Amino acid sequence: MKQIKAVICDIDGTIRQKGNLTLSEATKDVLSRLHKQGVLLGLASGRSIERELIYCAEKWGMDFQFDLLIGENGAEYYDLTEDKIRGLFVLKREWIKEIIEMMSQFNLNPSIYSHQDKLVMFADTSTLSMNPTVSVYKIIEDISEFWAQEAKKVMYKVKTEQFDAVKKYIEDHPNKNYKGIVTNIAPTFATIEFVETHVNKAVPIVEYCHRHQYDIEEVMAFGDTTNDNEMLQACGVGVCLLDGTDDTKAVADAITEFSNEEDGFAKYVIHHVLEPRGW
């Protein structure tokens, strides 16, 4: 195993069990042990930094802040040393209009973050039950409100019975300006997000390492599904959870011995990072 100086983790399905709002005690203990040993810690998520990620450490009962927060699947990141959020990529207004018009054939409910009002805008209420963490939202009256300003992503919750058809359509209709990525697969639905074509979780890690003179070969990344693939490939050691998706397992350097529900992340770090170094 390479010398590991940084550990970057996806959240849902990776360090946090799906459906839970906090971390297991085993995961919190492992993160604390890594922090005490001087290992840089980061979160990489499709969630917004200013709405959610910046508060994760406190909500999870950690006594430290994460060194690096990657939000919106890599469209933005937060550097603790600068206490600053850096925006990297956005969807232009005309692209958002194209996306929503293209996806209207599937009768899905789009949602988008309004950074000006700090809320989530939905076309209707049909998928609110699939968004349990959203507490501040607006049901829009005019569809053009969606493209009244630039945004970092357009989100769709797709029911399981529709997922294959929607995913195939997106794959068969690539666009040079934006792409649709699967960010979560739940028992009854999946989340598909449209982002600027260059967005991925690896980009902020590369930039952060360059800024702070870290060797990316000394970074270990953990993920469980498609939007983690570039991150796992870019880092020195990319680890997929045992119950992750097949495409993510295929690009990973290693697969955990236990699933997310069995504290796969924590057990992998204990056996492959902490114990071998006597930590």
- What pLDDT, in 10s, does the model give residues 135-145? 788 898 899 99
Tokens of 58: 């406190």
Average per-residue pLDDT for the chain: 93
Q: What share of the chain in percent tops pLDDT 70? A: 99
At 203 the pLDDT is: 97
At 116 the pLDDT is: 65
C-alpha closest to that of 29 among 272, 278, 269, 277: 269
- 1 pLDDT exceeds 70? no
At 126 the pLDDT is: 87
How far is CA 157 from each of CA 127, 185, 222, rounded to the nearest angstrom?
Answer: 7, 10, 24
Dihedral (CA of 171, 243, 163, 125) sign: negative
At 184 the pLDDT is: 83
CATH superfamily of 6-88+199-277: HAD superfamily/HAD-like (3.40.50.1000)
Give CB contacts under 8 A, 24+ apart, made by 164-170.
Answer: 165/106, 166/103, 166/106, 166/108, 166/192, 167/192, 169/106
Q: Where are the alpha helices (DSSP H) in 185-263?
A: 202-212, 229-234, 246-251
* Phi and psi torsions of 170, nearest 5°: -65, -45
- 2 pLDDT exceeds 90? no
- Looking at the chain, the domain(s) classified CATH 3.30.1240.10 span 93-196
At 94 the pLDDT is: 98
Of residues 70 and 129, more confidence is placed in 70
C-alpha closest to that of 96 among 123, 117, 74: 123
Strands (E), 2-93: 6-9, 40-44, 68-71, 76-79, 84-87
- Average pLDDT for 120-146: 85
- 161 pLDDT exceeds 90? yes
- 270 pLDDT exceeds 90? yes
For the chain, how big is the Rg over CA atoms in Å?
Answer: 18
- 51 pLDDT exceeds 90? no
Q: Assign 117 a pLDDT band (cuts: 50, 70, 90).
A: low
- 185 pLDDT exceeds 90? no
Secondary-structure class of domain 93-196 per CATH: alpha beta
- Looking at the chain, the domain(s) classified CATH 3.40.50.1000 span 6-88+199-277
